[in-house]
């Protein structure tokens, strides 16, 4: 079975600083995809960034980047220049068999 683990229930960061959210996963598949989703209080899940497992280069989307360590099965999210609007729940997810398996989430609070 595929699993996704987020070990940080809550994180805080000062505005304009950098924060890293951790995620580990377990799968026996060779080809898979990993995602970070953001869920603000409105409940709308928004895709932040995706990574294809067979690509060695870490994905980057503006202030968001990942550190993908395939051998260690680790997939962390780095948010640079944190903004108040980044405050939300963040979920790490893996796509296996056309469906998403989510971690338990990390609440991120950006403080002014």
Q: Position of tokens 């993908």?
A: 68
Residue 33: CB minimum distance to other proteins, A: 3
- Which of these, 34, 19, 25, 26, lies nearest to 88 by C-alpha position? 19
Residue 43: CB minimum distance to other proteins, A: 5
Rg (CA), the chain: 13
Whichever of 16 and 46 has its CB closer to other proteins, that residue is 46
- CB-CB neighbours of 46 under 10 Å: 11
Query: Interface with other proteins by CB under 8 A: which residues?
Result: 4, 32-35, 42-47, 50-52, 91, 93, 95, 97-105
The torsion angles phi and psi of 13, rounded to 5 degrees, stand at -150, 145
Residue 69: CB minimum distance to other proteins, A: 18
Whichever of 85 and 97 has its CB closer to other proteins, that residue is 97
């Amino acid at each position: 079975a595929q699993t996704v683990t987020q070990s940080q229930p809550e994180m805080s960061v000062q505005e304009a600083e950098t924060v890293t959210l951790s995620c580990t996963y377990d799968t026996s598949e060779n080809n898979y995809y990993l995602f970070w989703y953001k869920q603000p209080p409105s409940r709308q899940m928004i895709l932040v960034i995706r990574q294809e497992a067979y690509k060695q280069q870490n994905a980057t989307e503006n202030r968001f980047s990942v550190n993908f360590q395939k051998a260690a099965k680790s997939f962390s999210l780095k948010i640079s220049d944190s903004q108040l609007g980044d405050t939300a729940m963040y979920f790490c997810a893996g796509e296996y068999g056309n469906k998403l398996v989510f971690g338990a989430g990390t609440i991120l609070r950006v403080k002014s």
